[in-house]
Amino acid sequence: MIDYHIHSEFSPDSNAKIEEILKKARERGIDNIIITDHFEVVKGDHEFKFNVEEYRRTMEKFCLPVGVEFGWDGESPIDVDLKNFDFVILSCHVFKNPINQESYKDYLERLLNIINKFDSYHVLGHLDFPRRYSKKFEPFSKDLYPIIEEIFKKVINDGKGIEVNTDSMLKYGEPNPSFEILKLYRDLGGEFITIGSDAHKAEDVGRGVKEATKILKELGFDYIRILNGEWNAIKIGC
Ligand SMILES: [Zn+2]
Ligand SMILES: [Zn+2]
């Protein structure tokens, strides 16, 4: 099993020790993990940076690839070389309140703008992210699918992938993005997917991954990408 989205104490919102994460992963039979701590380049209070050299050394000490969840608002100047990382999840955590279809639309437009300006990443993180914070976990309306389609076409053309983030599986039974949106990605020829729990505590490592993987297979995905020095595809369910 795989988990390619985990936060450790290098993130401002996690206290998880790397030793604990590795222990939990072993106990759960997760043999392939990447820790992806927040590096957030945004305007305002949520900006967050860690010492990249220290981070690299730590991951290497544990024989882990050097992963990062790079958060960007699409505007703030980027002063980090993303080539220092083996695996980059590109995420946007900025969205407008109140959360409704209008703010979903604004979020997607921001994402599209981001990927039009920036390509130092491997996968686009949790595409319908604001849904997690909406009152009734309202899905993105089909009216927004043309923008999502445009995002996916760009991602696929650029040779990038998307991540299936299972944090919301326990909340409302779907990952980010939703199964319907993942189906759209598949229909457009999207094949490059990684999967991750977005755990901020060691006990959450691998949460939802098995359940989501089963459904991915039903949606027509045959492979999940893993990083073994280079990117390889492993068959789902094997
Ligand atoms: Zn995130
Ligand atoms: Zn995360």
- State the distance from the centre of ligand 2 to the C-alpha of 38, rounded, in angstroms: 7
From first to last of its 238 residues, the chain has per-residue pLDDT tens of: 999 999 999 999 999 999 999 999 999 999 999 999 999 999 988 999 999 999 999 999 999 999 999 999 999 999 999 999 999 999 999 999 999 999 999 999 999 999 999 999 999 999 999 999 999 999 999 999 999 999 999 999 999 999 999 999 999 999 999 999 999 999 999 999 999 999 999 999 999 999 999 999 999 999 999 999 999 999 997 7
- State the distance from the centre of ligand 2 to the C-alpha of 169, rounded, in angstroms: 14
- Token duo for residue 54: 């220290």
Which ligand is in closest contact with the Cα of 92? 1
Which ligand is in closest contact with the Cα of 176? 1
Query: Contact, 162 vs 151, CB < 8 A?
Result: no
Which ligand is in closest contact with the Cα of 16? 2
- State the distance from the centre of ligand 1 to the C-alpha of 173, rounded, in angstroms: 18
Query: Contact, 164 vs 195, CB < 8 A?
Result: yes
Rounded Cα gap, residues 231 and 238, in angstroms: 17
DSSP one-letter string for 101-122: HHHHHHHHHHHHHHHHH----S
Which residues are found with C-beta within 5 Å of the ion, ligand 2?
69, 198
- State the distance from the centre of ligand 1 to the C-alpha of 5, rounded, in angstroms: 9
What are the sequence ranges of the domains in the chain?
A: 2-235
- State the distance from the centre of ligand 1 to the C-alpha of 107, rounded, in angstroms: 14
Which ligand is in closest contact with the Cα of 14? 2
Please choose, from the candidates 16, 10, 1, 2, the residue with its C-alpha nearest in 3D space to the C-alpha of residue 200. Answer: 16
- Token duo for residue 50: 């860690």
| In CATH, 2-235 is 3.20.20.140 | yes
Residue type, 88: V
- State the distance from the centre of ligand 1 to the C-alpha of 199, rounded, in angstroms: 10
Which ligand is in closest contact with the Cα of 4? 2
Which ligand is in closest contact with the Cα of 68? 2
